[in-house]
Structure 1
Amino acid sequence: MNRSMGDSHRRFLQTMMSNGIIDNIQARALHQHCCEVHSGHYIPDKLDEFIDVINAQLQPMFMNIRKAMSEEDGLQYYALVNLTETDITRMSSDYADNELELFRKAMDLIVDSENGTASSTDILNCADTLQTKKLRKKEAELVLNKFVQDKWLNEKHGEYTLSTRCITEMDQYIRTMYRDLVKICHVCHNIALQSQMCENPGCGIKMHLPCVARYFKGRSDPHCPACSDFWPHEIPEFHRRQSQASQSQFSSAKENTAPAPSTSSSRRSRR
């Protein structure tokens, strides 16, 4: 296989640098688009091999396009990850110090929760306790909105969760800083925040909700895959999103070729 990057690969990478993360449907649409625009050889089921060519060139720059699964809906995503920066300092060029402190406190609340969420009320209450510079409630609300817009947090009905981008890019940071709190999904072996836990005190494994749905699909008498105890939780159901909606959302983004966000290598403490 030819391992050199062509114009189609460069166009794909440029769009990834602009968007940071795209879902599987969007990635496949972008793959087709880039190949067709540059008269490349398009093979629908060879997206991962196409990305492997890009990753081979990114390796010396300590960057990588990684697959990731959304904890919320189980959909697959592709994220451009900077491997040289694994903590919140990667965001320092885009946010003020007090905004980064608020993000750290939001992350503390989310990781320390039972269900991987933190309410807007709890996060906003932290704004008045910042050590760097306190934020007024309205200011803090605007900052939280920016975190959501920039795909670091997700928000639904006033509850905030870490986004797929955040978990993917800060995987090592989260595992290190919260090693006594974070558990790994028994099925996919990735960080599990929004999850279900085995209630056997001697077991206590966690599984993402989408992983639970897949593992117990079609089983009327679910038992823990580790200790075989009865799994007492309700088995969630996930319905695959229609590709049409995702393709529509992506049509306006696939030609977005703005420069990638800059990053900083400065180190800051957790709190």
Structure 2
Amino acid sequence: MQGNTRRTGVMTDVHRRFLQLLMTHGVLEECDVKRLQKHCYKVHDCNATVEKLEDFINTINSVLESLYIEIKKGVTEDDGRPIYALVNLATTSVSKMASDFAENELDLFRKALELIIDSDTGFASSTNILNLVDQLKGKKMRKKEAEHVLQKFVQNKWLIEGQSCETCGIRMHLPCVAKYFQSSSEPHCPHCNDYWPHEVPEVFDPEKERETGMSRSNKRPSRSRQH
């Protein structure tokens, strides 16, 4: 999908409602997709002109791109009717995820994605994600367990941790935050120059990390062997 020159617009509540309903149905024929699009406009923006379906879907796909998900158009095998479906673009990785995580952990991930997609910023706070534990299917999960699972999602790069400006909404990944503000005692937003209220992480230094590891190793108490 990189290098695609397709035109995209701004994601609105019309697009979000459409995506939620398509996720529910899975696969729809083109005529049903067009009806669904008109329905979403009627619910959220009845005075707006219905956007061309291709441009409408491209706008949604531009948001889904970072999640390795896309709405794709295809045809039925029997009679060639046009259909639309929400598909994973990283099947191998998704299969691996299914083997690495329990059912309730995968449910937490799905709900976290829905939260991110529904947001105006493309972000969801860890607090809001952790509050989803009561809605999970199957085995119950405590918030402490959910914190650990959420950290695993970040470590495995299924979710990316970041910070956003509370004034203008600009978003930065944590490594970028660390590098940008490393020499600033009073950090300010690079976009609107308002005060940056978040804790700035340290810049990762491989050499320092290696020295710390060696220091820990040297501090381990030696055991005397009894004869």
**Under TM normalisation by the shorter chain, which class is it?**
0.3 to 0.5
What is the TM-score when the length of structure 1 is the normalising length? 0.31
Higher helix share: 2
Structure whose CA Rg is larger: 2
User: What is the TM-score of this pair, normalised by structure 2?
Assistant: 0.37
